Amino acid sequence: MTPEPGAGRWADAIRVAALLAADPQACVGIRLRAGAGPVRDAWLRHLTDRLATGTPVRRCPPGIGDDRLLGGLDLAATLSAGRPVAQAGLLAEADGGLVVVPMAERLSPGTAARLAAALDTGTVAVARDGFFETRAARFGLVLLDEGLDDEAPPVALTERLAFDVDLRDLALRDIDGATASDPARRTPDRAMEPDDASEAVATLCAAAEALGVASLRGPLLAVRIARLIAACDGRSMLAEPDLAEAARFVLGPRATRMPAPEQPGDDAEPPPPQASPEDERPPDASADEAASERQQAEPPSLDDVVLAAALAAIPPGLLAALAAGQAPARGGKVGKAGAAAAAARQGRPIGARAGDPRRGRLSLLATLRAAAPWQALRRSETGAGEARAIIVRPEDIRITRYRQRTESTTIFAVDASGSAALERLAEAKGAVELLLAEAYVRRDRVALVAFRGRAAELVLPPTRSLVRAKRGLAGLPGGGGTPLAAGLDAAADVALAVRRGGGTPVVVLLTDGRANVDRTGTPGRPRASEDARAAALRFRAAGYAAILIDTAPRPQDSARALAEAMGARYLPLPQADARKLSAAVRAAGEAA
């Protein structure tokens, strides 16, 4: 359970690379957390060296367009041939090999969903540009995650991948020695004897349960990887080391909690509340037996071995967080999807119309299509002297229509300090949910920053999901000092990210304006006020629309002064309830 030294982790990473190379499709893929650098390059070299010769490896930039990703019309070939010619997309080209996505944290949810669909079906369905096609696309996905802090690739994608390897704090010296000791493993022998995997499945399910791996993809992938390990080692039956290793690679990084100390697995914790009234089918008799057998097994049981292996693979930081009973790390990844979506939505093409290409982007395909029906006619008009394959006239020219979405994101910055914190938080929570509920049609988003104690925290990254908001807002603590400067800075950071993504931020600050913790987290009123003022001026310089809602029982001069410094509207609202608050915010948002 101790944090492994760098060399051990590198050896694991190499082992994972070997497995991935042996059967990319079965592994689905890997999320590799590492900055661009020699360590990552070395790992990628290990991976590609192991691939059978001729295996395609395609790099897929995160902002790739559908025409390149999925395929479509090959314009050059179409023009020269005078008939539509299809062109395979990147996913189809990578069939049997790997798709490598650098900067995967920048993937938009749309692109992620396309990748996920291809991973699920092993095919890529194209319904574009006059083509219907389904091509084979069985590939393994390598997400190179360079995300800092809470940036991460979309969970919809990472959840499907078997491996999650973190090489961030490895140095070159860690990887030097380990390379040689790597066992040379080649293509697996897939002809497995039919064995009874019941016990293996039960073991891995129990381990997943003990670690709080909710999705069934965890144990499913673990079983698959265990088989792959056995096959790579030339065995046809699953053995204990296979399960332990699979649990280590697949389940460890997915852990969201530490197993209950005395009885790992069953009954230790109440099952999470279920959303739908599910009438349970009588559980399969054999499964029941397996489960009870497993429970009665004498120590050290297979379960314990597998669980211990999985625990060994939990990254040290996560382990400490889990041990302290903190929020699961995977939960933290939720929320980036929305932010990335905004970036991709900046002016989305929504079709084409006749127009002048000097005042818009030429839509070649639509232009071709407009010109197409007249070709035979025009050729006969102009006579045989016309050598061009396709005759395009000015009236055929089409330009792409874009829809510029200026969706607004309301960022609540809530002073969660002191005694009034609980009420204020409750009001802010209510307002957030109300705004979200009303914002469906406009598809606006909401974010929440809370500041208390020594620092500010982004409680809810910009989202339009009520489900996620509720989850983020549940159990938000209050009390402590007022680090106003930190709160303003955090709100400004979120606002900047929103603006970069093409949205319009509106910041709503709920505070009484009395700072008593400065930027460095040190208590002290004068310094704190100074910092808050500086932060407010910085905020004003950026020119974000803002309202300051004074939550003090009596309107405060300090709050009014702060609003002025921020360039925010000042709104004393001592008895604000959620409804009043959301009405005020809406009014401000429309004015902004």
Partner 1 sequence: MNRRDHTLESSSPERVTTFPFTAIVAQDEMRQALLIAAVDPSVGGVLVFGDRGTGKSTAIRALAGLLPRMRAVVGCPYACDPAAPAEACPHCAGKLERKSALVPVPVVDLPLGATEDRVVGALDLQRALALGEKAFEPGLLARANRGFLYIDEVNLLEDHLVDLLLDVAASGVNTVEREGLSIRHPARFVLVGSGNPEEGELRPQLLDRFGLAVEVATPTDIATRIDVVRRRDAYERDPAAFCATYSKAERAQAKQITLARERLPAVTIPDAVLEACARLCLALGTDGLRGELTLMRTARALAALDGTHDVTIDHVRRIAPAALRHRLRRNPLDEAGSTARVARAVAEVLA
Which 52-111 positions form the footprint of partner 1 (CB under 8 A)? 66, 69-70, 78, 82-86, 109-110
Query: Taking contact as CB under 8 A, which single stretch among the options 193-201, 310-318, 525-533, 561-569 is the one that binds partner 1?
Result: 193-201
Complex with partner 1: residue 163 or 539, whichever CB lies closer: 163
| 404 lies in the binding site for partner 1 (CB under 8 A) | no
Residue span 325-344 as binding mask against partner 1, x where in contact by CB under 8 A, dash where not: ---------x--xx--x---
Exactly one of 38, 63, 121, 186 binds partner 1 (CB under 8 A); which one? 121
Q: How far is the CB of 46 from partner 1 (least distance, A)?
A: 27
| 156 lies in the binding site for partner 1 (CB under 8 A) | yes
Distance CA 393, CA 16 (A): 57
Distance from the Cα of residue 150 to its chain's centroid: 9
Exactly one of 80, 134, 236, 382 binds partner 1 (CB under 8 A); which one? 134
Complex with partner 1: residue 86 or 310, whichever CB lies closer: 86
Site size with partner 1, rule: CB under 8 A: 104
| 223 lies in the binding site for partner 1 (CB under 8 A) | yes
Distance from the Cα of residue 245 to its chain's centroid: 26
Helix axis angle for 6-22 and 217-232, nearest 10°, is 80
Exactly one of 103, 178, 220, 592 binds partner 1 (CB under 8 A); which one? 220
Candidates 318, 328, 579; CA nearest to 430 is: 579
Q: How far is the CB of 220 from partner 1 (least distance, A)?
A: 5
Q: How far is the CB of 283 from partner 1 (least distance, A)?
A: 4
| 231 lies in the binding site for partner 1 (CB under 8 A) | no
Contact predicate 307/244, CB 8 Å: no
Q: How far is the CB of 420 from partner 1 (least distance, A)?
A: 20
Place of tokens 């939990």: 314
State which of positions 418-457 bind partner 1 (CB under 8 A): 430, 433-434, 436-437, 440-441, 443
Distance CA 456, CA 331 (A): 19
Q: How far is the CB of 432 from partner 1 (least distance, A)?
A: 9
Candidates 25, 18, 17; CA nearest to 232 is: 18
Distance CA 52, CA 55 (A): 6
State which of positions 522-541 bind partner 1 (CB under 8 A): none
Complex with partner 1: residue 1 or 440, whichever CB lies closer: 440
| 123 lies in the binding site for partner 1 (CB under 8 A) | yes
Distance CA 251, CA 221 (A): 9
Q: How far is the CB of 206 from partner 1 (least distance, A)?
A: 7
Distance CA 403, CA 407 (A): 11
Angle at 457 between CA 258 and CA 545, to 5 degrees: 150
Distance CA 548, CA 416 (A): 15
Query: Taking contact as CB under 8 A, which single stretch among the options 216-224, 322-330, 475-483, 485-493 is the one that binds partner 1?
Result: 216-224
Q: How far is the CB of 345 from partner 1 (least distance, A)?
A: 10
Query: Taking contact as CB under 8 A, which single stretch among the options 120-128, 355-363, 485-493, 501-509 is the one that binds partner 1?
Result: 120-128
Longest distance between any two alpha carbons in the chain, whole Å: 91
Residue span 546-565 as binding mask against partner 1, x where in contact by CB under 8 A, dash where not: --------------------
State which of positions 342-381 bind partner 1 (CB under 8 A): 348, 350-351, 368-370, 372-377
Q: Residue 133 pairs with which residues in a beta bridge?
A: 126
Candidates 450, 455, 451; CA nearest to 473 is: 450
Three-state helix/strand/coil letters over 152-219? CCCHHHHCCCCEEEECCCCCHHHHHHHCCCCCCCCCCCCCCCCCCCHHHHHHHHHHHHHCCCCCCHHH
Query: Taking contact as CB under 8 A, which single stretch among the options 121-129, 180-188, 479-487, 549-557 is the one that binds partner 1?
Result: 121-129
| 291 lies in the binding site for partner 1 (CB under 8 A) | yes
Q: How far is the CB of 2 from partner 1 (least distance, A)?
A: 29
Annotate 351-360 with b (16+ C-beta within 10 A) or e (fewer): ebeebeeeeb
Query: Taking contact as CB under 8 A, which single stretch among the options 196-204, 313-321, 496-504, 542-550 is the one that binds partner 1?
Result: 196-204
State which of positions 459-518 bind partner 1 (CB under 8 A): 464-468, 470
For the chain, the helix, strand and coil percentages under 3-state DSSP, each to the nearest 5: 45, 15, 35
Q: How far is the CB of 497 from partner 1 (least distance, A)?
A: 18
Angle at 520 between CA 518 and CA 522, to 5 degrees: 60
Q: How far is the CB of 565 from partner 1 (least distance, A)?
A: 33
Query: Taking contact as CB under 8 A, which single stretch among the options 3-11, 200-208, 506-514, 526-534 is the one that binds partner 1?
Result: 200-208
Complex with partner 1: residue 190 or 525, whichever CB lies closer: 190
Q: How far is the CB of 235 from partner 1 (least distance, A)?
A: 15
Q: Could you write out the DSSP letters of every residue in 332-385?
A: HHTTHHHHHHHHHTSSEEEEEEE--GGGS-B-HHHHHHHHGGGHHHHHHHH-TT
300 prior amide bond cis, ω within 30: yes
